[in-house]
Chains A and B, each alone.
Chain A
Amino acid sequence: MAWSAPMTAVANTAFTAAQFNTYVRDNLLETAPAKATTAGGYFVGAGTNSLVERFWTTNGVTTSQSTTSTSYTDLSTNGPSVTVATSARALVILTARMRNNTASEYAAASFTVSGDSSIAASDDNALTFQTASSFQDSQASILIPMSALTPGSNIFTMKYRATGGTATFERRRITVLPY
């Protein structure tokens, strides 16, 4: 059932069962309480006069692993990744502890989007850390708004690279807030 703009009542006219079903029953079925299924869900616009329930999703890998790849790649343990239903928009949060064993080189953690979308990992959508000595280490997050997803089921997977030397990553986590 879809939302119908509520009719305007007119004096001395009968309110039919069909009108009640269209303007009361069906419209109530488009409201948040009717669509709520699980604790922790939230409601976003899905288009004109339409709501949908969405859920935050998170996944993490704590293991410390390294790469010398200068192009985005998987570590020995792929991911982490999450699969979520989205519109064209989602907020992606990347978190990791990162270091590089070579002065002036970067460690970078980004993500791909697959499924209904196809978006490659890139430095534009990355958490990065550049070391100036071998005793530097950082654990932090970056929040990346995505606005050009293909609506549907999308898989967000973390990927990693080094600009040189060996980049090491641990306590890796991806969280997606779909809209």
Chain B
Amino acid sequence: MAWTAPKTWTSSTTPTAAELNTYLRNNMLEMAPAKATTPLSQFAATGPNAIAQRNIKYNYIATSETTSSTSFANLSTTGPSVTVTTAGSCLVVWGAEIQIASNTDAARMSVECSGATSVAASDLRSILVWYGFAGTNYAQVSQAVLFSSLNPGTHTFTCKYRMTSGTGTFSRRRIAVFPQ
């Protein structure tokens, strides 16, 4: 059922069952309480006079794993990743504890989007950690990016990793997606 702009009632007319169904029942079925099914959800417009429930998704991998790949790749445990439904944009927040052992190496953590829209992991949308000290350096950081102009539909956001050189260690990896 779709939303219908509520009619203006006039005196001395009897609302019909069809009118009550159209202007009351069907319109109420388009409202948030009728569409709410799960906790930790919010409601977003999907177009004129239409809303949908959107579920905030979160995933976390504690395991410490390494990479020496100079192009964005998975670690031994892929991810973390989440799959959401969106009408066009998502706020994606990700982070990790990142360890590098050389003052000439830099570590990056980005996010790949797949599904209804493909957006490759890239340096433009990545966490960068690069320290000039000799020896092991740590940082626990996050980045938040608004992925806009997505095609309506299902999308999977997956964390990816790379080094400029040397080996980096990533632990406590997390991603949260707020779809609209």
Name the A residues within 8 Å of B146 (CB-CB). Answer: 56, 58, 93, 175
Of the 9-residue stretches A22-30, A68-76, A106-114, which lies at the interface with chain B? Answer: A22-30
Beta-carbon contact of A33 and B8 below 8 Å: no
Task: Contact check, A56 vs B49: say whether CB atoms are below 8 A apart.
Answer: no
Of B24-32, B60-68, B72-80, B154-162, which stretch is located at the interface?
Answer: B24-32
Known: A32-B31, A36-B51. A24 touches B6 (CB 8 A): yes
| Chain B CB within 8 A of A41 CB | yes
Number of A-B contacts (CB under 8 A): 147
Main secondary structure of the interface of A (DSSP, over half): mixed
A42 touches B180 (CB 8 A): yes
Q: B50 — nearest CB in chain A belongs to which residue?
A: A36
User: Whose C-beta in chain A lies nearest to the C-beta of B124?
Assistant: A171
Interface size of B by Cβ–Cβ distance < 8 Å?
55
Given A42-B180, A141-B143, A32 contacting B132 (CB threshold 8 A): no
Asked if residues A25 and B7 are in contact (CB atoms below 8 Å), the reply is yes
Chain B interfacial positions (CB closer than 8 Å to A) = 3, 5-13, 15, 23-24, 27, 30-32, 42-51, 87-89, 91, 93, 103-104, 106, 108, 124, 126-133, 139, 141-146, 148, 152, 180
The segment out of A3-11, A118-126, A129-137, A153-161 that lies at the interface is A129-137
Q: What 12 additional pairs, Cβ within 8 angstroms, besides A138-B128, A139-B127, A141-B145? A: A24-B23, A24-B24, A28-B23, A31-B32, A32-B31, A39-B152, A95-B144, A131-B132, A132-B132, A137-B106, A137-B128, A140-B143
